[in-house]
Structure formats: structure tokens, C-alpha cells
């Protein structure tokens, strides 16, 4: 495994985060934002408006669009986040900005300290680099177990996944049954492009992770995320030492996938 950051990355700020706001793009984003808002509103009408639906906010660009859609429209959807203990400093800075901007306190779930201690003592502080199995085991302790707690008692959860993000997300529907967690899953941005995501962020002046400007289109834990080169797949910087087909941490793995 090599943890070397690509040398093909240019020194300029990532142009993908600043698309040209043409009239056609603005119209498309407005229409998609309204469709996403309507989907979420209908979901709360169907499933409940007392916290039955929860949004898993990982503070990526897509999740910042959903955060703004939910909070600006006062949709009765709970928002939670997972702090794995290995997040980049820029993500913690963003969490503080979001709490200030929207005058809210975010609900953050942490891993069980004893489980993390056991994993690190048994396998090493950076064991995720050593094998796919240890990578999945680390995600299990730091992400999956806290996610299970966050989803307990819920009827549905919302994600910022997009179909175009990776081969593991091709054909992603707006709504699906999450059989593994036993509840519905809504993906309101399934058909959005990266350009549309950034157009929404610029149009609404939504706060975002500073790493996006440094060619990190997808941001997770610091040791498992790197910048990408121009032309690389947007998920190429996540678990870059693994095959594309196995690059999901288990939060969004569908039946039949690794």
C-alpha cells in the first residue's frame, strides 16, 4: 500500500467547486432542489414528523446541500453525524461553522471507547492499511456500530449519495429498502451531478469543507482519504489502495455487494 498523495494534482484551487453559474444550470439546480425538498416533505408526511426520519450528515458537499435543504426549509428531519475519532481537522472546523450558521447543535455519535481500544491494541493504530478485512473491521467499530445506534427506532434515513459517484452506486434509486438496517433509505440527490451540487452550494452560500478546494471531492477519515488528480474518479481518493468494487465502508453496502 502506498499512502503517497498524487503529484499530478495542480497547485490551483479545484475548479469543480466553482462552476460557471449559467441560467440553464441555475434553473436545473432549482428544479432538482425543489424535487428533493418535495421528496423529503412527502417522506415526513408518510412516515412521521417527530424524528422518525434521520439524516446521516458526513459533512461532504452533497450532505451540506441536504443540511441546507432540511434546515432552511425547517423540514422535521433529525440530523446526526458520526465522529470516528479520525476525521480531518477541516471537518471539525466545518461542524463548528454549521452549528453557528444554522444556530443548531448537531447530534454526534462516537464509537464505544472500549471497542476502539481493543481494536487498536490488537491490530495497531493504522491497521486499516494492512488488509481489507482490518479496514472493514475498523469501519465496523468506528462507523457501523455507531450508525446502528443512530438508526435504532427510526423508520427511514436520508443520505447524500449520488449514483454518479462510483461503480458501487450505479443505479442508485431515490428511495430503497435498506434491508440490512431494516428501514427505508432516501437518496434525494441520486440524480444530481457534481456540478449541480456545487452550483447549489454557491447559490445558497452554504458552508463546506475546505478540503474540497484542495481536490478532495469525497472526504471521510483523514488516514483513508487523499486528494485526487485531474480526471480521476471522484471516489478515487477514498481507500485508494483497494479495488473500486470494494470501496464502501459498510455504511451504504447493498445486498449482494462486498
Judge whether 54 and 154 are in contact, CB under 8 Å.
Answer: yes
Positions in 58-87 near ligand SF4 (CB under 6 A): 84, 86
CB nearer ligand SF4, residue 84 or residue 187: 84
Instruction: Based on the shown chain and the rule CB under 6 A, indicate whether residue 143 belongs to the binding site for ligand SF4.
Output: yes
Instruction: Based on the shown chain and the rule CB under 6 A, indicate whether residue 56 belongs to the binding site for ligand SF4.
Output: no
Beta carbon of residue 3, minimum distance to ligand SF4 (angstroms, whole number): 12
CB nearer ligand SF4, residue 207 or residue 220: 220
- Give CA angle at 73 (104, 162), nearest 5°: 90
DSSP symbol at 254: P
DSSP symbol at 103: T
CB nearer ligand SF4, residue 10 or residue 85: 85
Beta carbon of residue 38, minimum distance to ligand SF4 (angstroms, whole number): 33
Judge whether 24 and 15 are in contact, CB under 8 Å.
Answer: no
- Other CB atoms closer than 10 Å to residue 250's CB: what's the count? 16
Judge whether 216 and 225 are in contact, CB under 8 Å.
Answer: yes
**Total site size for ligand SF4, rule CB under 6 A:** 13
CB nearer ligand SF4, residue 206 or residue 228: 228
Tell me the catalytic residues: 249
Instruction: Based on the shown chain and the rule CB under 6 A, indicate whether residue 142 belongs to the binding site for ligand SF4.
Output: yes
Which residue's CB comes closest to ligand SF4?
221
Q: List C-alpha distances in Å: 9 to 152, 195, 214.
A: 42, 19, 9
Beta carbon of residue 224, minimum distance to ligand SF4 (angstroms, whole number): 3
Distance of CA 28 to the CA centre of its chain: 22
Instruction: Based on the shown chain and the rule CB under 6 A, indicate whether residue 220 belongs to the binding site for ligand SF4.
Output: yes
Span near ligand SF4 by CB under 6 A; candidates 14-22, 153-161, 163-171, 220-228: 220-228
Phi-psi region of 189 (alpha: psi -120 to 50; beta: other; left: phi over 0): alpha
Q: Which residues of 36-58 are buried (b: 16+ CB within 10 A; e: fewer)?
A: bbebbeebbeebeeeebbbbbbb
Beta carbon of residue 211, minimum distance to ligand SF4 (angstroms, whole number): 15
Q: Which member of 224, 228, 235, 237 binds ligand SF4 (CB under 6 A)?
A: 224
Residues that bind ligand SF4 (CB under 6 A): 84, 86, 128, 135, 138-139, 142-143, 220-221, 223-224, 249
Amino acid at each position: 500500500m502506498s499512502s503517497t498523495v498524487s503529484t499530478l494534482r495542480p497547485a490551483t484551487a479545484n475548479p469543480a467547486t466553482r462552476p460557471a453559474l449559467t441560467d440553464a444550470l441555475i434553473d436545473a439546480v432549482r428544479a432538482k432542489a425543489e424535487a428533493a425538498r418535495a421528496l423529503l416533505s412527502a417522506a415526513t408526511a408518510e412516515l412521521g414528523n417527530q424524528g422518525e426520519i434521520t439524516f446521516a450528515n458526513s459533512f461532504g458537499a452533497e450532505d451540506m446541500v441536504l443540511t441546507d435543504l432540511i434546515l432552511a426549509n425547517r423540514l422535521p428531519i433529525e440530523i446526526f453525524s458520526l465522529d470516528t475519532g479520525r476525521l480531518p481537522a477541516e471537518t471539525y472546523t466545518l461542524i463548528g461553522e454549521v452549528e453557528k450558521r444554522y444556530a443548531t447543535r448537531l447530534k454526534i455519535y462516537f464509537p464505544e471507547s472500549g471497542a476502539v481500544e481493543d481494536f487498536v491494541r490488537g491490530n495497531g493504530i493504522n491497521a486499516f492499511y494492512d488488509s481489507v478485512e482490518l479496514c472493514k473491521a475498523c469501519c465496523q467499530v468506528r462507523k457501523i456500530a455507531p450508525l446502528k445506534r443512530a438508526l435504532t427506532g427510526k423508520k427511514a434515513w436520508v443520505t447524500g449519495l449520488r449514483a454518479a459517484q462510483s461503480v458501487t452506486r450505479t443505479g442508485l434509486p431515490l428511495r430503497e429498502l435498506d434491508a440490512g438496517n431494516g428501514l427505508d433509505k432516501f437518496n434525494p440527490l441520486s440524480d444530481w451531478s457534481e456540478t449541480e451540487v456545487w452550483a447549489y452550494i454557491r447559490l445558497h452560500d452554504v458552508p463546506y469543507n475546505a478540503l474540497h478546494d484542495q481536490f478532495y471531492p469525497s472526504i471521510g477519515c483523514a488516514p483513508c482519504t487523499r486528494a485526487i488528480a485531474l480526471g480521476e474518479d471522484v471516489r478515487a481518493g477514498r481507500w485508494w489502495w483497494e479495488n473500486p468494487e470494494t470501496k464502501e465502508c459498510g455504511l451504504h453496502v447493498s445486498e449482494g455487494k462486498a
